[in-house]
Structure 1
Amino acid sequence: MTDRKAMLADARFYGAKSEPIDAVELIDSHPLRNGTLEILAVTHGGVTDLYQVVVDEDGEDILGTSGAVSYVQAIVEGAVGTLHGDAPVGHAARKVEGEQSNTSLVTGSVLVKAFRRLEPGLNPDVELLSEIGHCPNVAKVHGWVTREIEGEEYTLAMIQDLVLEGRDGWELALDYAARGESFAQEARLLGRATRHVHDALKLAFPTTTADLGVSLQRHAEELAARNGDVAGVVPQAHDLYAGLPEGEVQRIHGDLHLGQVLRTAEDYVLIDFEGEPARSLEHRRLADSPLRDVAGMIRSLDYAANFGEGAPEGWAEEATEAFLVGYGIERDAVLDAYILDKALYEVVYEADHRPEWVNIPLAAVARLMG
């Protein structure tokens, strides 16, 4: 399987680029009409992850290109796995472009999301969205696909409504920034949409209280074990987290940023409820503070201001304030702690996925720590 190493190392969906791939093992496969569905066990740094790919005869992944139609047809035929619910797919399929850890295919009036890195259990994207389909700020789930692999059940794909004419929130924010135009009005609307989703999740799933400071300290230690830059600031982060109060926790989006929202003609729709890719499925399914999502969007607004050219000074700060107004809260020490936590996570994520971007969160950490 040596030919799979290079393919994975170059793939956008592969999430451990900071470490060399030690081994790739084929543990499950199924022939499709065009290509072969493969489940690969990828070992790196003493850890083994499972990945879903569709490869051609040269070992290149084609799930998002020439293999898209075959994959969609295989879902209906039961070749990918067991279909739960419906799959009202079309006869054609095309990949949704953009920075994605998974691969989404437009087919007919629905979107088929193929999960790339697999973990046993029901994917949070399916778990959460299937319970809050009534919320106008999410896309309804029609069905999902599971497959038994080595005695455990994994979620391979999800089928949900296509958000018609929805524009990627990241691209929209970059356009505003490039024109030097205020994003405040959009951010306020986005804050309101985020609050609607949190309220729906709060009604659908149990809530409880937790020691927020202890939770953030544990997360910092987990991140420090994976990245030297984070390890160097953990003692100072612990000081900032110490003394934080208990707070209400619930199920949340878990990885909210501008690339996880779509702007329709009327409102914003939140997508991709899997949680942070660097966290285990077990941790992503835990209740957490809604402030984690709020902090994620604030960090994303900072990214938008720093990524392109044209954003005037104070652009991100103005948008942040408007987002908080739309959401209905004020900035305080607890929110600042979650913003730092998100920035530390971003350092690890960028080092693994997009090393050329890592200076953005590193600069944010430096600012947040004074």
Structure 2
Amino acid sequence: MVVGERVVVKWLTPPVPLPHPTPEIFAHLVDSGFNDTAPPYAALTGVLGGREHLLALITGYLPEARDGWEWCVDEAATGSTAFATELGRLTADLHLALSTFPITSTTGGAASGSTAARAYEALAEALALTGGDDGEWLATRADTMRQELKVLERPIATPRIRIHGDLHVGQILQWRDGYAVIDFDGNPTVTGAGLHQPAARDIAQLTTSLDHVAQVAIRRRSTPPADATRWAATARDTFLSAYKSRLAGGNRPDLLDETLLRPFEVEQECRELIYAARHLPRWRYAPMGVLRTWYGEEPRKENIA
């Protein structure tokens, strides 16, 4: 709810038992001097059933704000990628701030073995839930996808930091004075994951969302597929270059292990398929479009008389 174009009240329905990730992340970002988000004002809590719950979050209102499923699709339709430099800076600044968030016994990340297991489970579930021609095609690429996930079986040496957890373009607002990242509630489709994970997890979700934007532009804006694919590749490269440069400027290039990007991207597309099957069937075209771009279409068979 927007109140007087001054504050935004986000009611949690149903209320969520505390602890909840957002209030503590907001407090840490303020202490760290990270300002590229809606200004956090307050959290409303109450006791329900003998336990304290988070009822609502109150943040500042950002004038003329649009989320990335609007503004970024506009960029794809016009072929512009200038935004990607600023997106890389914003994301790096966010990770630099979150990298100083303390790790406790209850917030630490999962071990590398379980990281691989969760990825394989996501692939298996995506295969089971994706039917029709898409499912048949996906099955022909499953072995290749498993091979790309094998990277996650080795020990992960890169630092684990408190990540955003659901960082896609829809969480990036373009508003009157620039860009802002929002919604630190975590990924609603993932349970049991540690709050501290490699930064590559966030980056993989953001880069795949740029690929999804390209698919949206193809479907909704009639952007030629070849143009959309080139746009996505350029946007990804520009974003990653700016992100790595900003990390280096903050003396933390170690935060990104690029070898983790591809397997995390493959896992993310599996999770997109799971989400589509469970909650939003019409969304399946986007992850399937990305996977077909990555792994190629089956050659068409000629009918021989």
TM above 0.5: yes
Aligned-pair CA distance for 1:323: 0.7
Give per-residue Cα distances to partners, 1:24-48, cap 9 Å, x unaligned. Answer: xxxxxxxxxxxxxxxxxxxxxxxxx
Q: Which position in structure 1 is the counterpart of 2:262?
A: 336
Aligned match of 2:299: none
Aligned residues, how many? 263
- How far apart, CA to CA, are the structure 2 residues paired with 1:304 and 1:227? 23
- Residue of 189, 207, 212 corresponding to 1:303: 212
Q: Which of the numbers 142, 147, 172 marks the counterpart of 1:261?
A: 172
Cα contact 1:209–1:248 (8 A) shared by 2? no
Given candidates 317, 321, 324, the residue that maps to 2:240 is 324
Contact kept in structure 1, 2:119 and 2:149, CA below 8 Å:
no
Counterpart of 1:181 in structure 2: which amino acid?
G
Query: Do the aligned partners of 1:217 and 1:241 also contact (CA within 8 Å) in 2?
Result: no
Match of 1:110 in 2: 7
Task: State the secondary structure of the residue aligned to 2:162.
Answer: coil
2-side partners of 1:234 and 1:116: how far apart?
A: 37
Higher relative contact order (CA 8 A, sep 6+): 2
Contact 1:177 1:304 in 2 (8 A): yes
Which amino acid letter does the alignment assign opposite residue 363 of structure 1? Answer: G
Mapped partners of 1:261, 1:147: distance in 2: 30
Alpha-carbon separation, structure 1, partners of 2:123 and 2:7 = 36
Identify unmatched segments of 5+ residues in structure 2. Answer: 131-137, 246-255, 297-305
The alignment partner of 1:316 has SS state of: helix
> 1: distance between equivalents of 2:117 and 2:292?
18
- Cα distance change of structure 1 residues 216 and 272 upon mapping to structure 2, 3 Å threshold: farther
Within the candidate set 274, 277, 291, 2:188 is matched to 277
Change (3 A) 1:209 1:352: closer
Q: Secondary structure at the match of 2:28?
A: coil
> Closer, same or farther in 2 for the Cα pair 1:124/1:256, shift >3 Å?
same
Q: TM-score, normalised by structure 2?
A: 0.75
Cα 1:155/1:333, change in 2 over 3 Å: same
What amino acid is aligned across from residue 306 of structure 1 in structure 2?
Q
Q: How does 1:226-265 map to 2 (within 5 A)?
A: 228-229=128-129, 237-244=145-152, 245-246=155-156, 247-265=158-176
Task: Determine which structure has the larger helix proportion and give its number.
Answer: 2
RMSD across aligned positions (CA): 2.9
Following superposition, the deviation at residue 186 of structure 1 comes to 0.0
- Whole-Å separation in 2 of the counterparts to 1:234 and 1:131: 41
Q: Which has the higher strand share?
A: 1
Give the superposition deviation at 1:255.
0.7
| In structure 1, distance between residues paired with 2:126 and 2:261 | 24
Q: Distance in 1 between matches of 2:56 and 2:76?
A: 35
Q: 1: distance between equivalents of 2:70 and 2:166?
A: 18
CA–CA distance in 1 between the matches of 2:202 and 2:29?
A: 17
Preserved CA contact (<8 Å) 1:296 1:342: yes
Decide whether aligned partners of structure 1 residues 262 and 159 sit closer, same or farther in structure 2, where only a CA change above 3 A counts.
Answer: same
1:241–1:214 Cα change, 3 Å: farther
Contact 1:213 1:242 in 2 (8 A): no
**Matching residue's letter, 2:243:** Y
Q: One-letter code of the match for 1:112?
A: V
Secondary structure, aligned partner of 2:196: coil
Displacement of 1:368 after TM fit? Answer: 4.5
**Amino acid in structure 2 at the alignment position of 1:201:** L
Return the letter of the residue paired with 1:151.
G
